[in-house]
Amino acid sequence: MAADSKVEKAGKIRKPMTNRRMFFAMIFGAVFRRRSRAVMAVVSSMVGAATLFCLAAVCLVVPQQMSAEMRAYGANLIVTPNEASSAAGLSADTVSSVEKTVEAAGSAKSATYRYETVRINSAPYVLGGIDVNQVRDLNRHWVVDGKWPSEGRVLVGRDVADAMGLEIGSAIKIAYRASDNAAGASSSGTSGSAGSNATAVPNDSTTAGTTSAETQAQSTGQSSRDGRVSTDILNTDGTEFRVAGIVDTGGSEDEIVYATNDDLTKLAGERGSDVIEFSSEASADQLTQLVNRINKSSSLGVKAQQVSKITSSNTRIITMLQTLFWLVSVVVLVLTLVGVSTTMASIVSQRRNEIGLRKALGASSASVGAEFYVESALYGLLGGVVGTGIGYVFARVLCQTVFERTLSFNWLLGLASVVLSVLIAVVASIVPVRRASRIDPAIVLREE
């Protein structure tokens, strides 16, 4: 009776060994018995997952950062009045309608410009009226020595300053003459208020798209040098301004004098803007469609032009970075496959006698292969989880130090990294597992 009770008690404590329990017991036993090989497989998967996640995370941030940096070098879309409305310029309602149309295609920064021919210290120059906050936010590449224009103070282009010997704080007299601006209207065949000749559309060689002094001179039929229109000096009347700063961009901006819109209105009277510049986040194809839509719209009364130099440079740089990412990713995938495959081949070689004995006891090739596949998937899972975490840390540090941007964890990308790591580990085990399934138990036992 006592013996029976002990047997019953032992039966209650010990559960029968099922095939599933035996399967997982053998897997974990193989892992822990060969910890050095297992660590090598995990490290191979970890390095691959860390590198791929870091590259992918940075690749998602870099195009946005590069687009923002490229947009800081000027506008990629220019809008000007059509011939019918060029004399009066763009009204506030028209500017608002155009801005809504552009922003519908993507977030955009904008700035308006009004240009007039004026006399500065009795010599004709181009004076641009601007909203300082808009222009400063749009053109972050402008190098301004001193301050931006304010009431009674102007920003002078470098070429103008050199030609006139101006420095910060210098006093200049600016006078507006309707006859200087009306000449452009008569020569170009357009009628309207003075200043209609100031409208100009930049070509692709300019980065900011502002009206150049050469274009101004061409419209008046006069020659230009250093931003000054060569003509006879009549008198020295005008309103006195102070030079607040000197702008140096290496472009047509160096030939223009900038004042606030209010100062230009007091000097030359009310008139609409001549140019709207946009720095849009829309893609090149979206910008092309937007330009066509604006030009076909008769209600807006404007014409649009894409600054292809900025757009094409942006697209080319992003394409190069993405191509580099894919090339490096392919190299990392191949190295990860080789590392995991080599480790699994070594594990199969070490367990050759065990595999032969199991097959002699009736184990099928499919069961032996399944065990190795699950074992390699376990290595890939561990390496993928750890590698993804390490890759995120590297990507975050890289974005903060190089691109000065914060990087949040992308859970979808993290899941894809782990799954890809498992798949790579399984694929890398195909050749070693096939070798294991072909082991002849008779040959192995004879060797023993």
Assigned token pair, 127: 């004076």
Beta strands in 97-141 (DSSP E): 108-120, 123-130
Q: Is the pLDDT of residue 127 over 90?
A: yes
What local confidence, expressed as pLDDT, does residue 212 receive?
A: 39
pLDDT band at 34 (very low <50, low <70, confident <90, very high): low
User: How far is the C-alpha of 347 from the C-alpha of 341, rounded, in Å?
Assistant: 10
Coil/strand/helix, residue 439: coil
Q: Which of 3-7, 56-60, 224-228, 242-246 has the highest mean pLDDT?
A: 242-246
- Determine phi and psi for 261, rounding to 5 degrees: -60, -35
Burial state string for 399-435 with b = 16 or more CB within 10 A and e = fewer than 16: beeebeeebeebeebbebbbebbbebbbbbbeebbee
For tokens 């010599």, name the residue.
Answer: 123
The model's confidence at residue 15, banded by pLDDT at 50, 70 and 90, is: low
Question: Would you state the pLDDT for residue 20?
Answer: 58
Q: Is residue 388 predicted with pLDDT exceeding 50?
A: yes
pTM of the complete model? 0.57
Which 8-state DSSP code applies to residue 150? Answer: B
- Longest Cα–Cα distance in the chain: 133
When pLDDT is averaged across residues 214-238 and rounded to a whole number, the result is: 47
**Is 357 in contact with 445 (CB distance < 8 Å)?**
yes
**Mean pLDDT comparison of 30-44, 116-130, 213-227, 320-334, highest-scoring range:** 116-130
Average pLDDT, the chain: 75
pLDDT of 70 strictly over 50: yes
Q: How far apart are CA 74 and CA 113, in angstroms?
A: 14
- Taken as a whole, the chain contains a residue count of 448
Among the ranges given (50-64, 205-219, 335-349), the one the predictor scored with the smallest mean pLDDT: 205-219
User: Which DSSP string do the residues of 81-107 spell out, in sequence order?
Assistant: E-GGGTTT-B-HHHHHHHHHHHHTSS-
| Burial bucket for residue 394 (CB in 10 Å: 0-12, 13-18, 19+) | middle
Using the predicted structure, report yes or no on whether residue 296 has a pLDDT greater than 90: no
Structure confidence by residue, pLDDT tens digits, 311-334: 555 666 677 777 877 888 888 888
In this prediction, residue 168 has a pLDDT band, given cuts at 50, 70 and 90, of very high
Please tell me the predicted confidence (pLDDT) of residue 67.
Answer: 60
Residue 97: CA atoms inside 13 Å, Cβ hemisphere, count?
A: 13
